[in-house]
Structure 1
């Protein structure tokens, strides 16, 4: 039987440069690196696979797996006559997968790493890798290959990569730990890396590959839990309203000056993260910058009056200065959080009745603590006394059902913001949403993980801490479905 060369030609013409680089990376266990480095066209890549017997007459299994790993289901179905479901079943059989679990892990990590995170990897590896290999065009896959060449990364040598991920993005570290747990098991995980068994059976590889390519579908919790989930199938899911206050010059110019409010440097990093994550979750993004208190009220009223009948959810993210129970407009005037949330009760917004209304508020809720060198607080004041009204959190959301309010910090306390990396809370929230939503985890489980991560951080030199707090009147599981 002759190879379907016409089909291979069509597939090769559909692959772009980045996809070809990914296919070459995933094939490194089967084709020598020196041979792959010389390849610039997909047709040449396919010829290299044929030379190594990875593509043969009547057997395109490896190419099917590569396209599946790459996410090109369209080519898999149209040109190779296979489907996502067929591949999921096939790859769960021990020994069928030809892409190693280790290499697929690295590929997945590269897909999740942002441009800023890639720059951080290059910076931290500046003394380990040649500078000429860390130029602006170097991709994360290129970085992994250079780390392998230097002997600081390998299937049994993940220590440095884990250390880097711990510094740059804790979610990436958790991905690696999840991979290790599936391959080694809990008992062997307690053994130092260099003393663990050097080989894992095909069953262990198949188990991790299956879990990584076929995660629990969003909503699958319903099958094992008696608790119903909110409907989350509309496209778009709803509006994600982002109120992003950065420039507080108007507040500083006021006579008398209401508060000593600095500009909120770093807030745009938060806004970008929220846009990215909620776009992936199929929300329509509506962002407004530098609003006065009155403008905040007007914008909220616009979306209160909007018809949400074809939407399943409403999300509002508020990034500003604040104090207990309020957020500030850029003019230094106060807006009670309860006023904003109450705007979307069933009585005030009929089309959202019975649907989840989610609010994330990044703002201080009390006095500012002593700051570290590069850390700022989102408090608008410096000297006011600490209040102790423990009823604050519940008072901020309406008594009726279907509300969730995620606060960056507990009552009376500050929240912290890095001018370069954004706030502790919003960054952790976005990372955990991005990691956990595709796995079908509900929002309260995700917010608990956010609490854990933020609570572990500290603001030097006095080791001040921050603890977020969610309040909710949800009646069902809230799962942000990705599909």
Structure 2
């Protein structure tokens, strides 16, 4: 690191700092004057460490210091080009790399024109003769007039100065969003609150009309940072013994013990331990104990963690899970506890919930067998407290439900549940191959949907929904 730092000039250091925004806070980067200080900041954030210099390799490749890449890090241009084609491997966002490339292509005269045209938007003290294009981009981001999905002002200014620069931005947007989303006007974006507004959508990766080409999405969609050790907490709420519910007066609808749930819990512990999560398992909690446990992790400081995972194994019905006392806990109450407003140290980080519980008592073939509904009658539940949107509209959530609304999910007393077992198997197989979570959950959907509970051919269909903004990949190394 010392040798590399001594080879970098002031402009190259500025470029590295700019490309690293999002991993190191802007205020800290602005105070850095030497490359050694920059590397120390990356080490503090776990972005570079002994035996793992992938991010540094990518940075040097991005600023075209191939000589340092080859001589000091034992890599090459060709190797980096191959590496960065792997989905989720690139750490520098496509948006930030676009801005860097624009800054490299702008001439001195064009830079002066930028300063003139943005004179009303930016403080004049920030537009002195020493101000670089990267400085201007940073100031625009501070003022909220430039962002990953807010390129209209930059595109308009580029069109006045050099139409080829504007074309570059349009190509980026087309590759990233696809043709249909490009038709959304700025007024529509403003009225709807941007692409993150609205309710969570059901998973439909690569569905027609959503993207122009799936290969372009893989190339340009940024991945969530997932480098901290541990990655975060994997909270497992495992309810097996429902004797308290059966003893209640008045007795709720019959809830059998959930034999086989410990097989699921063991599989989750094994897989998420391999994915470098800290496992926190709680067993046989009442509704109030579930709330208290969730509140403990809501108040915990997650600032040094990259993710939070919660796995819930219990009886349930529409939009709720049961405590072992038979009392209800709305799923949305649990997920909303971890929004950016309620858990600030997880803001901008992925919050993942996997729920193994029924969402009703209807069987696809209409025959009642052992299910996780906790109920034996065949009437369709119409709970007035049900809220169909189990995850917040806020960004960065993923909710994996074992089954569709109104339907049961199936559990083998010896082998565990269809859903959790398929989930763990696919995580274990696909994470080492760099596949993102939505691809994995699509494979889980396919596997579970093929299962049949004989003799009456009952089926089950899991349902993921999400407000993720980036690819979510769990590296094993």
How far did 1:278 drift? 0.1
Moved more, 56-65 or 328-337: 56-65
For residues 224 and 459 of structure 2, what CA distance do their matches in structure 1 show? 34
Q: Relative contact order, CA 8 A, sep 6+: which one is greater?
A: 2
How far did 1:300 drift? 0.1
| Change in CA separation of 1:98 and 1:261 when aligned onto 2, cut-off 3 Å | closer
| Change in CA separation of 1:166 and 1:38 when aligned onto 2, cut-off 3 Å | same
For residues 273 and 57 of structure 2, what CA distance do their matches in structure 1 show? 29
Selected match of 1:302 from 276, 290, 296: 296
Aligned residue for 1:221, secondary structure, equals: coil
Moved more, 362-371 or 299-308: 362-371
| Change in CA separation of 1:180 and 1:378 when aligned onto 2, cut-off 3 Å | farther
Tell whether 2:350 aligns with 1:360: no
How far did 1:442 drift? 0.3
Moved more, 188-197 or 307-316: 188-197
The two structures have a TM-score, normalised by structure 2, of 0.54
| Change in CA separation of 1:147 and 1:393 when aligned onto 2, cut-off 3 Å | closer
How far did 1:376 drift? 2.3
User: For 1:96-134, what per-residue CA distance to the aligned partner results, in whole angstroms no more than 9, with x for missing partners?
Assistant: 999999999999999999999999999999999999999
How far did 1:386 drift? 1.6
On the 8 A contact 1:218/1:437 being kept in 2, the answer is no
Partner of 1:98: 91
Selected match of 1:432 from 426, 432, 456: 426
How far did 1:258 drift? 1.2
How far did 1:259 drift? 2.0
Aligned residue for 1:262, secondary structure, equals: coil
CA RMSD across the alignment: 21.3
How far did 1:319 drift? 0.1
Name stretches of at least 5 consecutive residues in structure 1 with no aligned partner.
Answer: 1-7, 204-208
For residues 44 and 356 of structure 1, what CA distance do their matches in structure 2 show? 29
How far did 1:385 drift? 3.0
Aligned residue for 1:327, secondary structure, equals: strand
| Change in CA separation of 1:121 and 1:467 when aligned onto 2, cut-off 3 Å | farther
On the 8 A contact 1:88/1:210 being kept in 2, the answer is no
User: For 1:198-249, what per-residue CA distance to the aligned partner results, in whole angstroms no more than 9, with x for missing partners?
Assistant: 999999xxxxx99999999999999996x00000000000000000000000
On the 8 A contact 1:371/1:377 being kept in 2, the answer is no
User: For 1:149-177, what per-residue CA distance to the aligned partner results, in whole angstroms no more than 9, with x for missing partners?
Assistant: 99999999999999999999999999999
| Change in CA separation of 1:191 and 1:352 when aligned onto 2, cut-off 3 Å | closer
For residues 165 and 61 of structure 2, what CA distance do their matches in structure 1 show? 22
| Change in CA separation of 1:245 and 1:101 when aligned onto 2, cut-off 3 Å | same
Moved more, 407-416 or 77-86: 77-86
For residues 124 and 383 of structure 1, what CA distance do their matches in structure 2 show? 70
| Change in CA separation of 1:461 and 1:475 when aligned onto 2, cut-off 3 Å | same
Name stretches of at least 5 consecutive residues in structure 2 with no aligned partner.
Answer: 216-220
Moved more, 105-114 or 377-386: 105-114
On the 8 A contact 2:321/2:331 being kept in 1, the answer is yes
User: For 1:426-474, what per-residue CA distance to the aligned partner results, in whole angstroms no more than 9, with x for missing partners?
Assistant: 0000000000000000000000000000000011111000000001000
How far did 1:189 drift? 42
Partner of 2:444: 450
For residues 453 and 158 of structure 1, what CA distance do their matches in structure 2 show? 41
On the 8 A contact 1:171/1:435 being kept in 2, the answer is no
The two structures have a TM-score, normalised by structure 1, of 0.53
| Change in CA separation of 1:44 and 1:472 when aligned onto 2, cut-off 3 Å | closer
For residues 461 and 328 of structure 2, what CA distance do their matches in structure 1 show? 23
Partner of 1:4: none
On the 8 A contact 1:220/1:440 being kept in 2, the answer is no
For residues 431 and 118 of structure 1, what CA distance do their matches in structure 2 show? 54
For residues 134 and 179 of structure 1, what CA distance do their matches in structure 2 show? 27
Aligned residue for 2:244, secondary structure, equals: helix
For residues 392 and 48 of structure 2, what CA distance do their matches in structure 1 show? 62
Tell whether 2:212 aligns with 1:222: yes
Aligned residue for 1:392, secondary structure, equals: coil
On the 8 A contact 2:314/2:323 being kept in 1, the answer is yes
For residues 130 and 354 of structure 1, what CA distance do their matches in structure 2 show? 29
Selected match of 1:314 from 308, 316, 326: 308
On the 8 A contact 1:218/1:480 being kept in 2, the answer is no
On the 8 A contact 2:246/2:254 being kept in 1, the answer is yes
| Change in CA separation of 1:106 and 1:220 when aligned onto 2, cut-off 3 Å | same
| Change in CA separation of 1:385 and 1:180 when aligned onto 2, cut-off 3 Å | same
On the 8 A contact 1:251/1:331 being kept in 2, the answer is yes
The alignment covers a number of residue pairs equal to 470
Aligned residue for 2:82, secondary structure, equals: helix
User: For 1:310-352, what per-residue CA distance to the aligned partner results, in whole angstroms no more than 9, with x for missing partners?
Assistant: 0000000000000000000000000000000000000100000
